[in-house]
Homo-oligomer: A and B are copies of this chain.
Amino acid sequence: MENFDTVSLSFCGGTHNHKNCVTTALDEAEQLCISRGVRLTDARKRVLELVWDSHNPIGAYDVLSKLSQESGKTAPPTVYRALDFLLEQGLIHRIESLNAFVGCSHPKEEHSGLFLICKDCGCAAEVHDAVIDKTILNKTDALGFKAEQRVLEVRGLCPDCVA
């Protein structure tokens, strides 16, 4: 497995051209879906783009309203179905504590990230740490619990908002 000990979505202060992130993510998604033999339809791609466009985690109904603005009346299932597809393919993550979604920048391999959510600016960074993964797995194993999915979210203040 590739080394993921990185902050994949930089904190809000990180000066990066988010447009590039989006383009790259969409291209990767396209390739990935082809290689998996699944269809990244226009609707799904557009939802993925809207999720990425929003720098911060975005709620399903916010995606819905943006979609409605550009395409006329749209109903919740349209959005939820696209989101479900994207979740299945690992192209986005759901932040449980926010009921919101963020793009994933390394969807190739299955993984559970650690999400650092700033209560002040609302930004969310996805972090990976093999030690954390191992530590938690050790614990669940020791208890005879067969772990399948993990939710790990930390709420607090990002470096920019601490300052």
Contacts and interface: CB of A to CB of B under 8 A. Distances in A.
Interface of A: 7, 11, 96-97, 114, 116, 118-119, 125, 127, 129, 131-132, 135-136, 139-140, 143-159, 162
Given A97-B96, A151-B153, A153-B150, A159 B143 contact: yes
A140 B156 contact: yes
A97 B159 contact: no
A50 to B, nearest CB: 24
A76 B154 CA distance: 28
A97 B135 CA distance: 21
Contacts of A119: 148
A154 B2 CA distance: 23
A78 to B, nearest CB: 23
A143 B7 contact: yes
B147 A154 contact: yes
Given A7-B143, A114-B139, A129-B139, A151 B148 contact: no
B143 A132 contact: no
A151 B149 contact: no
Given A114-B139, A146-B157, A146-B162, 9 more contacts: A96-B153, A125-B143, A131-B135, A132-B139, A145-B162, A147-B154, A147-B156, A148-B154, A148-B156
A157 B132 contact: no
Given A96-B97, A148-B119, A150-B153, A143 B127 contact: yes
